[in-house]
Structure 1
Amino acid sequence: MTGARLALLASPAPPAQLAARELRDRYDFVPLSRAETVIALGGDGFMLQTLHQMLDDRINAAVFGMNLGTVGFLMNEWRVDTLEERLERARPFGVMPLRMEAITVDGESYVMPAINEVSLLRETRQTAWLEVMVNERVVLPELVCDGVLAATPAGSTAYNLSAQGPILPLGSAMMALTPISPFRPRRWRGAILPDTARLSFRVLDPVKRPVSAVADQREVRDVSTVKVAIDRATTLTLLFDPEHALDDRITMEQFAV
């Protein structure tokens, strides 16, 4: 990693901007389009924003995040010193995003990536009525709920965990299918599926009970059908200090109280 071309991206939050100035005083950086490694300063939300920017701009570079936000689950510890040495020792982790294909009630089509999760959420006070399919087979003819989400292992400790979904170890080749406040069927609490599964959701009453589809932070309102699958043509590389590896953090999160 020594001598790699580095780009620097920072959250607009004051702590991240101050840290960016410190790094620019010590290291040389190139534009994002020329980078081999991207240094991202901020929290988990900014990391997701950075990864989406790289997908949109087709930037093929590894990302080393440093936490200047709140939780920083996807980030390393902030330190201004020994950056090149840390990059040399960093462990890479490949993350494949989800691909969401959503069609609205007006027939408009949207395709979006999601690194953490794809969520279907009710738009009004009315509960959502959804048909759920796995590999073109109907597994739930009618799911009545506030919503449902599909999460990657990297995203399983985010919204999925808050919705009482399972934590998935990195490299498990699984994804979580988790309901959000399910009303019927009452005893269904979700499923763990192989990451080769193809998920399809059909909104059963999209006019009276409108539903939005959200790929990480990007929303499509008034959807009628949504398809979700792992995008195997795309891999994002995250870099972590050996003592701060993502797979270790995901494992230990299962013991958090």
Structure 2
Amino acid sequence: MERMHFVASDTDTARLAHGSLVARYGQTPVEEAAVIVALGGDGLMLSTLHRDLGLPVYGMNRGTVGFLMNDYHEDGLPERIAAAEHTVIHPLKMIAEATDGGRHQALAINEVSLLRVGMQAARLRISVNGRVRMEELVCDGALLSTPAGSTAYNYSAHGPIVPLGSNVLALTAIAPFRPRRWRGAILPDTARVRFDILEPEKRPVMAHADSRGVESVVWVEITTFPQMSHVLLHDPGHGLEERLIREQFV
């Protein structure tokens, strides 16, 4: 039997599932476990991955959307985990400088997003690999998404769904005003993307790496962080690659 360590989100449904599964399969201490079983929604999956425990994570949906999760069934859990498909993903690394001179770093599994804070639109300059590609983007914000995160905020902002293994990132504008018809860009995952905030005092912008935010940024630089790998487990035929394809036909 797999040495499983169960974690759950703070909801009645997830806590009930946690108690039932621990009673049935036992709770291995995390330092002795072979796999993490996450009970909740995508938020719990992201927070579990951000803990960087060095273990594969098998999620079961006890939340709302659960795009990253498997269906919840209590029977045959060790066998399901043993037969699961493995998906390896790498996070983005964000470095941001705030108006007070502070330098901040964070990792993002889904996306790094920039959002206007005040009433006025943000003005951003976009550079890729040290070369300015867009002198000014007037918008509510912009985001850079991994393939795993491309069906989340990126897709809601009308960005493309990016297949796993494509080695690309999606750069998407949020409610662009100028250029009005700019549809974003697909970039190699080796790219170094930099946003410089024009008029940061007059038009303040906040940066988010998944759920970690930095207020009043002056510039933000984003790269893939291949030194860190996360392993997600999914039931055969229901892995992330299949879900990314299926999402485009609904």
TM range (shorter): over 0.9
- After TM superposition, the structure 1 stretch with the greater mean CA deviation from structure 2, 3-12 or 15-24, is 3-12
- Aligned pairs for 1:177-192 (under 5 A) are 177-192=171-186
What is the TM-score of this pair, normalised by structure 2?
A: 0.98
Once the two structures are TM-superposed, the CA of residue 243 in structure 1 deviates from its matched residue by: 2.7
Once the 2 structures are TM-superposed, how far is the Cα of residue 4 of structure 1 from its aligned partner?
3.5
- Give me the whole-angstrom Cα distance separating, in 2, the residues matched to 1:155 and 1:238: 13
**How far is the alpha carbon of 1:155 from its aligned partner?**
0.2
Cα offset for 1:123? 0.5
Q: Match for 2:46: what amino acid?
A: L
Aligned pair partner of 2:12 in 11, 14, 27:
14
1:52 aligned partner: 50
Question: For residues 35 and 126 of structure 1, what CA distance do their matches in structure 2 show?
Answer: 50
1:26 maps to which residue? 24
Equivalent residues, number: 250
2:236 pairs, out of 233, 242, 250, with 242
Aligned partner letter, 2:138: V
1:1-257 to structure 2, matched below 5 A, reads 3-54=1-52, 59-256=53-250
The 2-side partners of 1:114 and 1:82 are apart by 33
Aligned to 2:28, what secondary structure does the other structure show?
coil
Q: In 2, distance between residues paired with 1:162 and 1:168? A: 14
Distance 1:34 1:181 in 2: 47
Structure 1: segments with no counterpart, 5+ residues: none
What secondary structure is seen at the aligned counterpart in 1 of 2:154?
helix
Deviations 1:193-241 (A, max 9, x none): 1111110010011100000000001100000010001001001000000
Shift of the alpha carbon at 1:79?
Answer: 0.6
Instruction: Note if contact 1:36-1:60 (Cα within 8 Å) is conserved in structure 2.
Output: no
Distance 1:132 1:4 in 2: 47
Measured after TM superposition, the shift of residue 35 of structure 1 is: 2.4
**In the TM superposition, what whole-angstrom CA distance separates every residue of 1:27-66 from its partner, at most 9, and x where no partner exists?**
1222223322100000111111111122xxxx11000000
Counterpart Cα distance in 2 of 1:208 and 1:36: 51
Instruction: Give the SS at the match of 2:171.
Output: strand
Q: How far apart, CA to CA, are the structure 1 residues paired with 2:188 and 2:176?
A: 22
Give the secondary structure class of the aligned counterpart of 2:60. Answer: strand
Please give the per-residue CA displacement for 1:149-206, whole angstroms capped at 9, x wherever unaligned.
0000000000000000000011111100000000011121100111111100100111
Identity %: 52
Shift of the 33–110 alpha-carbon distance from structure 1 to 2, 3 Å rule, reads farther
Once residues 165 and 172 of structure 1 are traced to their aligned partners in structure 2, the CA distance between those partners, rounded to angstroms, is: 16
